[in-house]
Amino acid sequence: MANLDAFKEEQVVEKTVDTEKKVKIGIIGTGWIAGAHIESYQKLPDVEVVALADIIPGKAEAFAKQYGIEGARIYSSDEELIANEKDLDGVSICTYNCQHAPCAIHALEAGINVMLEKPFTVTLDEAVEVMKAEKKSGKILTIGFQPRMGPNMQMIKKIVESGELGKIYYIQAGGGRRSGIPTPFGTTFIEKDTAGIGALGDIGCYSLDMLLNAIGYPKPLTCTGYTSAFFGTDPKYYANHPEYAAKFGVDDFAAAFVRLEGDIILDFRISWAMNMDTCGDALILGTKGGLRIPSTECWNGEFDKPLTIYKKVAGREVSYQIPLIESKSNLFVAKLRSFVDAIKEGGKAPVPSSEIVINQAIIDAINKSANIGKEVEINIPEV
Ligand SMILES: NC(=O)c1ccc[n+]([C@@H]2O[C@H](COP(=O)([O-])OP(=O)(O)OC[C@H]3O[C@@H](n4cnc5c(N)ncnc54)[C@H](O)[C@@H]3O)[C@@H](O)[C@H]2O)c1
């Protein structure tokens, strides 16, 4: 038992950082998630948030006051911030999805390192344009997937890489929400012009990353996708804001079969709203073993139950659990620490575009296939 208990606690290695020279950061978009960025940056002693931008008048000023950084310079757009801040080491792009690509391109073209919130972009074409700007700039572009920092999420990849499951041939995405269309601070997540994609991009990108990162992001080949919006467009769904229904321009449910290189099939489903508690557990099937990952929304890197491995041993069917690791680190802080470290050390992007473009290509293909009602081929242009 003592041996098993040793797995439960993550070894937290305290890192000493050089605080002599502060890394200068700007935040573009001062909405909901920007709050998590500033709170995390404020925990890093070698970072100074020196500039803020938001296109809504007064919003960045109020943000600066709320977080006690009244000294930060305030701008009314990403372009104004980038044109005036000549000394920035990096920016956090915290705008709604449709503004990810233009803001990332502007920053990279100005030679600024970028932490871009998830999902990467709305379309594959946009992701490719951002990657071209990344390549030309030689700067760091990392995508904001904090679940990757979670020790239990990392365990999924370790299990696959250990060979314990054999050759992987089927992965099934699960999780999702029964009643969780995100409208806590308005409608930027549900309007076509701001969000561009719904549950498919918002939490689907996490669900895809959890499985595809574990199996090494194989190239996607073809996709049959489906999306719907029965709940988001129904005024009765919203207890206090029936008017949101008319603004709903994205998906609230998506499903797909995606063929991946290496003769692997991805069975995908994601939901913001449905008449079901969960789309189920996530599964990875291999020739030597299967892995059950308890239903999760993925975004916080947590499961409430352990992972289970199923195998046949000496002709008998057995299953065993991988004890949950009690993480002591804040995943959001870890995500921004990894970005700042990459800037300071001239390192690689912690969550690189070369992987997440595959995630984006699948999201894009699900949308395209859903629109035309047929299977589509997936081709990711070389950058
Ligand atoms: N990693 C996570 O856990 C997590 C959680 C929530 C949201 N997100 C992602 O963060 C992004 C933002 O979500 P949110 O909930 O904060 O949205 P939000 O609507 O609350 O905030 C976005 C802000 O960006 C501003 N903005 C838009 N374009 C701009 C531009 N060109 N220049 C300056 N400001 C601009 C808007 O005015 C708005 O204030 C989304 O892409 C979302 O998917 C990530």
CATH code for the domain in which residue 255 is found: 3.30.360.10
Same domain, 212 and 297: yes
Question: Which tokens belong to 291?
Answer: 């892995």
Q: What is the pLDDT of residue 68?
A: 98
Q: What is the band of 14 on the pLDDT scale with cuts at 50, 70, 90?
A: low
Q: Is residue 3 part of a domain?
A: no
Q: What is the band of 299 on the pLDDT scale with cuts at 50, 70, 90?
A: confident
CATH code for the domain in which residue 28 is found: 3.40.50.720
Amino acid residing at 327: S
Ligand 1 within 6 A of 265 CB? no
DSSP states of 59-107 as a string? HHHHHHHHTT-TTSEEESSHHHHHHH-SS-SEEEE-S-GGGHHHHHHHH
Number of H helices, E strands in the chain: 12, 15
Same domain, 127 and 141: yes
- Secondary structure class of 38 (helix, strand, coil): helix
Q: How many Cβ atoms are within 10 Å of 184's Cβ, its own excluded?
A: 6
Q: Which residues contact 79 (CB under 8 A, 6 or more apart)?
A: 106
- With CA atoms as reference, report the closest residue to 377 among 222, 264, 256: 222
The boundaries of the domain holding residue 232 are 148-325+361-377
Q: Which atom of ligand 1 is nearest to the CA of 60?
A: 39
Ligand 1 within 6 A of 101 CB? no
Q: Is residue 192 part of a domain?
A: yes
Same domain, 216 and 313: yes
pLDDT at 8 over 80: no
Ligand 1 centroid to residue 186 C-alpha, Å = 12
Q: Is residue 2 part of a domain?
A: no
Q: What is the pLDDT of residue 7?
A: 40
Same domain, 37 and 184: no
Q: Is residue 50 part of a domain?
A: yes
Ligand 1 centroid to residue 116 C-alpha, Å = 10
Ligand 1 centroid to residue 98 C-alpha, Å = 9
Same domain, 21 and 115: yes
Ligand 1 centroid to residue 152 C-alpha, Å = 27
Q: Is residue 116 part of a domain?
A: yes
Q: Is residue 179 part of a domain?
A: yes
Ligand 1 centroid to residue 100 C-alpha, Å = 9
Q: What is the band of 11 on the pLDDT scale with cuts at 50, 70, 90?
A: very low
Q: Is residue 157 part of a domain?
A: yes
Ligand 1 within 6 A of 103 CB? yes
Q: What is the pLDDT of residues 249-287, one digit of tens each?
A: 999 999 999 999 999 999 999 999 999 999 999 999 999
Same domain, 262 and 314: yes
Q: Scanning the structure block, which residue is given the tokens 């008319």?
A: 246
- Using most ligand atoms within 8 A of CB, pick from 120, 153, 188 the residue to mutate for ligand 1: 188
Same domain, 306 and 338: no
Mean pLDDT over all residues of the chain? 94
- Count of structural domains within the chain: 2
pTM for the model: 0.95
Q: Is residue 268 part of a domain?
A: yes
Same domain, 343 and 207: no
More confident residue, 219 or 6: 219
CA distances 177 to 11, 41, 203, 258, 306, Å, are: 32, 30, 10, 22, 20
Query: What is the mean predicted confidence (pLDDT) over 135-154?
Result: 96
Ligand 1 within 6 A of 25 CB? no
**195 phi and psi angles, rounded to 5 deg:** -85, -40
Same domain, 166 and 203: yes
Q: What is the pLDDT of residue 184?
A: 86
Amino acid residing at 134: E
pLDDT at 344 over 50: yes
Same domain, 158 and 285: yes
Same domain, 163 and 94: no
Question: Which tokens belong to 200?
Answer: 């498919």
Q: What is the pLDDT of residue 329?
A: 86
pLDDT at 25 over 70: yes
pLDDT at 48 over 80: yes
Same domain, 57 and 135: yes
Q: Percentage of the chain surpassing pLDDT 70?
A: 96
Which of 55-59, 76-80, 116-120, 184-188 is predicted with the least confidence, judged by mean pLDDT?
A: 184-188
